[in-house]
Structures are given as structure tokens and as C-alpha cells.
Structure 1
Amino acid sequence: MTQTTQLGCACGRVRLEVERAPIVTAECHCNSCREAGARLKTLPGAPPFLEANGATRFVLYRKDRARFLEGTDVLKAFRLTPKSTTRRVVAICCNTPVFLEFKGGHWLSLYASLWPAGTRPPVELRTMTSDLPAGSVLPDDVPAGTWQSVSFFARLLGAWIAMGFRSPDLAFVKGELQV
């Protein structure tokens, strides 16, 4: 039997299910994630989703292992600029960030805050630490690369190969969110 995990936004209107283990769980420190996090947390009633150090924790899943069960009608894309190809998708019913998607990507970077506290997959690595302000100190409990590591890309490539080099389209996300 396949292991599945049920997730949802803060109010429960958006529900999704992921199956099997994630590709990787990462904490991102890039300028884009930090700027997006700062802007998204100002949305009215937005639940906490940033780590104490300001990073965004993502749990990466193959797109073919994530299914949206309810609430796709309230998902809106947020882009840092009108030309940004990366979109962060937010459940506007309660302003919960749900996932980040890279254009053409075969995976979803789900916000770890979708998991109830105490059940979140542990961080396996930190990325883009080169974007942190001078003097920032991170714990040394997991690898922390100044960029994405070779093992990070190897995991993504392995997932893409397993998917037959497919990249499913998430056309159900309609509309843009301005923050």
C-alpha cells in the first residue's frame, strides 16, 4: 500500500494529498524566497510559514505524486515581478502559501508549514546561503551550501528520470495575487 499524507491550508478549504517520500526537504535562503516571504507574511491572517532564521522550508515532491482534492478555485499565483517565471501559489481563503513552482519544473516545492507542527519532515539541507546578510549564523546540523548542491540537483534529476522526463502542467491555478 502506498503511503499518503493529507495536507491543507490553514482554514481547510484547500486539501491535497502527497504520496510516498519527498525528493528532499530544504531550507532556502535565497533573496527571492526571503523577499517573497516578507511580502506574503503581510497578507491579512497569513499563518506563520517562515523559519526562525527567516528561511523558507520546502518539501519537494514530484508533481505526479501530489493531488489537489479540494479548493483549487481559491489558489492564486504570486510573482515577485510581472516577468518572474517562478510562481508561489497561495490559498486566498486564508492566505496560506501552498507551493512554489518553477516554470517547466517537474516538482512542487510545498511549503513545510502545510504539515501540522511535529509532523514536518526534517530539514535535510540548506541552500543559497550566499544570499544571507553578512554575519548571519546558521546551525551546522545539516549541509548548508552557498548555492544548490550537486546532491540536490542529482535528486531532482533522479525524480525527473523516474517520471519519464515529464513535467505536468498545473493549469488549475487561475489568476494572480498582488502583494
Structure 2
Amino acid sequence: MSKFTHIGCACGKTRLEVQGEPILVSECLCNSCRQAAARLAKLPRAPNILTSHEATASAEYRKDRIRFVSGREHLAEFRLVADAGSRRVVATCCNTPVLLEMKGAHWLSLYLHLWPESSRPAIDIRTMVSDLPDASHLPDNVPNLKTHTVSFYMKLLWAWIGMGFRNPKIEVARTVDA
């Protein structure tokens, strides 16, 4: 039987249940993730989700292993530009960034600050390091990858095969501007 973990926004009104272990746990240093995190941090009461070295940390989970337990009515999407291929979803009850969804993806990247610090999944890799002007300050505790690797995409492919090539939709009715 798979383990279930309960996580949620800063105020506790938006709660999720995730099943099993993540596909991968990463820190992304791409310009898009860093820019979105900086803009979302300016919302009232919003937590800053950037790590000390300006990355966004997330656990990638199959969509079929994530369930919103409460607070779905608080969810709103944020896009850097109107036609962006990715969206971030925020719990507007406390403006906590919850997840990143790539267009057409069968997985979601759940931001690690949703977990209590004591049970937060450990980072496997740091990716998109090539977007930094100078990556020399990054710790070497995990691989610092210039881009996404074949191994990264293979893990996602195996997860999709495990889902029977399904891609559940995550409905979010509202938008938020940051």
C-alpha cells in the first residue's frame, strides 16, 4: 500500500494529499521559474519560494497521485505572459504558490515549501544552471545540471507509461495577477 502525505498552503485552508514518492525532486534555476517566484512573492502575505541560491524547489508528482482535500475554491492560475506554456497555481487564501504545470504535462511540480521542513523531500538535482550568469556559488551537494537531461525525461516518460498515457486535467477557474 502506498504512503499518503498531507501538505498544504501557509494558512492551512488549501490542503493536498500526495501518494507515494515523487518522480523526482529538483531545484530549477531557469529564468522563468525565478522570475515567476519573484513576482508571486510580491503578493500580499505571500511566502518567498526561492531558495538561498535563487532556485525554485519542487517535487514532481504524477497528476493521478495528487488530490486536493480542501481549498480548491482558493486556487488561481498565474502566467508570466498570457500565452505562456506553463502556469503556476496559487492558493489565494494566503497567496501561497502551490504548483507549476507545464502545458500538456502528465505531472505537476509541487513546491517544496508545502511540506513541513522536517518532512520535506530531499533534492535530487539542480537544473537549468545555464540560465545563471555565474553558477560558481551553487553548492555541490547534488548535480548542478546545465539543462534537463535524458535521465530527467526518462523518469517522466516512465511515470507517463505507469499512468497508461493519461493526462488528468487540473481545473482552475480564476487567475491572479502578480
Normalised by the shorter chain, which TM-score bucket?
A: over 0.9
Say whether residues 1:175 and 2:174 are aligned partners. Answer: yes
CA contact (8 A) 2:37 2:48 kept: no
Deviation readout 1:128-176 (Å, 9 max, x if unpaired): 00001235421111111110011111100010010011110112x1111
Say whether residues 1:40 and 2:40 are aligned partners. Answer: yes
TM-fit CA distance, 1:67:
0.3
Residues of 1 paired with 2:80 and 2:138: CA distance? Answer: 26
Q: What's 1:113 paired with?
A: 113
CA contact (8 A) 1:48 1:113 kept: no
Residues of 1 paired with 2:36 and 2:12: CA distance? Answer: 23
CA contact (8 A) 2:6 2:18 kept: yes
Residues of 1 paired with 2:65 and 2:106: CA distance? Answer: 10
Q: What's 1:129 paired with?
A: 129
Structure 2 gaps of 5+ residues are none
RMSD of aligned C-alpha atoms?
0.9
Residues of 2 paired with 1:93 and 1:118: CA distance? Answer: 24
TM-score, reference length from structure 2: 0.97
Residues of 1 paired with 2:49 and 2:144: CA distance? Answer: 20
Residues of 1 paired with 2:28 and 2:117: CA distance? Answer: 19
Q: What's 2:138 paired with?
A: 138
Q: What's 2:86 paired with?
A: 86
SS in 1 for 2:118: coil
CA contact (8 A) 2:129 2:135 kept: no
AA aligned to 1:128 is M
CA contact (8 A) 1:10 1:96 kept: yes
Classify 1:169/1:45 alpha carbon distance in 2 versus 1 (closer, same or farther; 3 Å): same
Say whether residues 1:15 and 2:15 are aligned partners. Answer: yes
Structure 1 gaps of 5+ residues are none
TM-score, reference length from structure 1: 0.97
Give the length in aligned residue pairs. Answer: 178
AA aligned to 2:56 is T
Aligned ranges 1:1-80 → 2 under 5 Å? 1-80=1-80
Residues of 1 paired with 2:37 and 2:103: CA distance? Answer: 19
Identity of matched residues, %: 54
